[in-house]
Structures are given as C-alpha cells and as structure tokens.
Amino acid sequence: MANADPGDRVTLKDVARRAGVHPGTASRALNAETRELVNGETAERVLAAAEELGYRPNPIARGLKTSRSYTVGVLIPDLTNPLFPPIVRGIQDRLEEAAYTPLIVNTDNDPDRERADIEAMRARQVDGLITATARRDQGLPAGLERLSLPVVLVNRRLEDGARPSVVADDRKGIGLAVEHLLSLGHRRIAHLAGPQELSTGHLRHDGFIEAMRAAGIDPDPELVLVGTAFIESEGERLCNELLDRELEVTAIVAGNDLMAVGCYDVFVERGIDCPGEISVVGYNDMPFVGWFSPPLTTVHLPHYEIGARAAGLLLDQLRDPEIEPAQVLLEPELVVRGSTAAPLARDGQPA
C-alpha cells in the first residue's frame, strides 16, 4: 500500500525493471486473463512491484494496441433536464466498476448535433454508445444504422429488437395512474399527452387509452389533447384548452411532471382548487415535486437503475459481441401525494 511518489508517471517498464522481468512478462502478469501464462511466483513479484510503485496502466497506450479506448459515448438531450442526472449517474457508476469512462454529450434533441456528436465519438474511438435520445421517427439515431458499434438504447426500443434496450414500462405506469384515479371514483379523466414523435409520449398516450378501456370506459376523444413538447408551457396551453371546452372533467393525467406543473399554473390563474375540484397526476417523479403545492401525485421511474442497467447491457455486449441483445423493461411505481383526491359530487360534497 506504500505508494511511491506519484510525481512522474510510472510505466510498465519501470515495474518490469523493479520485478526483474521483461516488460512483456510484466504485462502478462498484470492482466488477469493472461496471468496463467506466467509463473505464479513471478506474477506475485510483478503485482507487488506494481503496487509499490503505484503503477496505473496507461489506457491510451493500451487502447492503441488493442484498439479499445475503454471509453463509452453517452448521448442525452440535456443534462439540465432533471430526468437525466440520475440516469447518467447510474451509467457512470456501473461503468466505473468496469474501468470504463463515459463521454457525455448533450444533443438538445437536434438531429444535426446528434450526427456530429456521433461522428466525434467515433473519432474518439469509443467502444460503444448509450443513447437516451428518444425520437422514434427513425429507428436509430442517424449514422448508427450501418455502424457496427455496440449500442444500447434508453427509453426507446427497436421494433425488431435488434439492439439491446432498457425502458420503463410506460404503458403500465400510466395504467397505475389511471387505476388510482378510477379507484378514487373519477370517471371523466383527461390526458394531456406529450409529443407523439417521442416514444415516451406515444406509449403513454396508448397506455392511457388502453387503461381506460380496460376499466370499461370508452375515453372521450375530447378529453385527450396532444402537446408538442414535454414542457410546462405546453401543459399550461393544453390545460387551458381543455377547460375552455367546458366539459365535465374531474381529473387529469399529464404526460409528465412539467406538464402537470403547467396545469398548476392554470389552476392558480383560474382559482381552481386542486385536488378539491380537479385532480392531477404527473409522470417521472422529478426531484422536489413532493414539495409543490399541492405535492404532486406522480409515477416514479427507477432512473438510476435505468442508467445502470443500460451500462450493464453495454458491458455485456462489449465482452461478447455475439450476445443476444437483451430488452429490459423496468417497473414504474405510483407515488400518491396531495394532488389527487376523490371527485366532488354535483352538490360540492365528496361523491
């Protein structure tokens, strides 16, 4: 454990010299897979020498020879979106265990940037890619289809399952929200959907319809509105539009938490009591939504685990390129807080 001075780099040659062996031998002794090729005693001597000198293999040199960079590209839309930090953290932690380093870029959902980023990652010789950008118009981000680079998809899944992916079960998640509202007694439930080009927006929309039908309710088309982005202002716009229709509606399933917040805006503006007059449930369980007024009932996704699993799948693929691409589906969880309650009867009393 006595690290020598880390002043200047200690190279494999130094270790070899100290152990009295050839660098080649030292290399074999240090790498677990080739260690069996060298005498146990010698190996120990090398390991000891490495330890004493505080030797760290130079991944650059190693990568040059093995044409592996021990580096993984991570494409996300925007780190600033509270959805992604836990995912990224999961990726980082899992990758770190395997001595891989993630290179993280923000695409801002711009296809051009996405292309450029992928090109840049390729130039940097990444060994694989994790992409959490969720447009579903094309199967894969442009420039990846013909690329024989291990890729794992987050929040998106290929129809043919040709690439490993990890997604949360949005259908089921929305189902949880709907069932919760139904069990409270709601029947006139609206859905403010996210953009349908995004797989998440699409799945949640479908999930909503499905869950309503499963309960024997034919969802009123007037009660489902589709937005152009998963943002607060869209939630606000849609909510206003919904209320302007002056239909009976006692609960709203928002496409995500931000859109739910947009509803809050409208309620404040119009003096509507939530959850007294209308209930809202969000999606994602972003940090701090429990502190909102009212605390937001929402669907929690295992973000960290999503990231960790994605990284795990990529590592699997790196170890064995022929491996069957796994499709991981993670379970969402309903978090009941203060934005949902039983609907009022006509007379203003709880039904």
Partner DNA sequence: CTCGATCCTGCAAACGATTGCGAGGCCGAC
Partner DNA sequence: GTCGGCCTCGCAATCGTTTGCAGGATCGAG
Binding residues for DNA (CB under 7 A): 9, 11-13, 20-25, 27-28, 30-31, 34, 36-43, 55-58, 61-62, 64-67
How far from each other are the two terminal CA atoms of the chain, in whole angstroms?
70
How far apart CA 101 and CA 67 sit, in angstroms, is: 15
Name the burial class of residue 88, with classes exposed (0-12), middle (13-18) and buried (19+) by CB atoms within 10 angstroms of its CB: buried
| 8-state DSSP, 137 | S
Strand partners, 104: 74
Closest to 323 in 3D by CA, of 336, 338, 313: 313
92 binds a second copy (CB under 8 A): yes
23 binds a second copy (CB under 8 A): no
Considering the complex, what minimum distance in angstroms separates the CB of residue 4 from a second copy?
13
Q: Pick one of 140, 251, 289, 306: the residue that binds a second copy (CB under 8 A).
A: 289
Q: Segment near a second copy (CB under 8 A), from 22-30, 52-60, 157-165, 320-328?
A: 52-60
Indicate which of a second copy, DNA, none lies near residue 161 (CB less than 5 to 8 Å, by partner kind).
none
Q: Pick one of 125, 196, 233, 327: the residue that binds a second copy (CB under 8 A).
A: 125
Say if residues 318 and 310 touch (Cβ distance below 8 Å).
no
Considering the complex, what minimum distance in angstroms separates the CB of residue 124 from a second copy?
6
Q: Pick one of 143, 158, 188, 333: the residue that binds a second copy (CB under 8 A).
A: 143
2 binds a second copy (CB under 8 A): no
The phi and psi torsions of 185 (rounded to 5 degrees) equal 110, 0
266 binds a second copy (CB under 8 A): no
Strand partners, 105: 75
**CB crowding 197-216: b at 16 or more within 10 Å, else e:** ebbbbbbbbebbbbbbeebe
Report strand pairing: 189-193 vs 298-300. Answer: unpaired
Q: Segment near a second copy (CB under 8 A), from 80-88, 196-204, 237-245, 327-335?
A: 80-88
228 binds a second copy (CB under 8 A): no
Q: Pick one of 86, 173, 302, 343: the residue that binds a second copy (CB under 8 A).
A: 86
Indicate which of DNA, a second copy, none lies near residue 319 (CB less than 5 to 8 Å, by partner kind).
none
| 8-state DSSP, 81 | S
Considering the complex, what minimum distance in angstroms separates the CB of residue 109 from a second copy?
14
Q: Pick one of 292, 310, 317, 325: the residue that binds a second copy (CB under 8 A).
A: 292
How far apart CA 227 and CA 193 sit, in angstroms, is: 6
Closest to 76 in 3D by CA, of 129, 150, 138: 129
State the residues that interact with a second copy by CB under 8 A.
Answer: 6-7, 9, 54, 56-61, 63-64, 69, 78-80, 82, 84-86, 88-89, 92-93, 96, 101-106, 119-120, 122-125, 143, 146-147, 261, 264, 286-289, 291-294
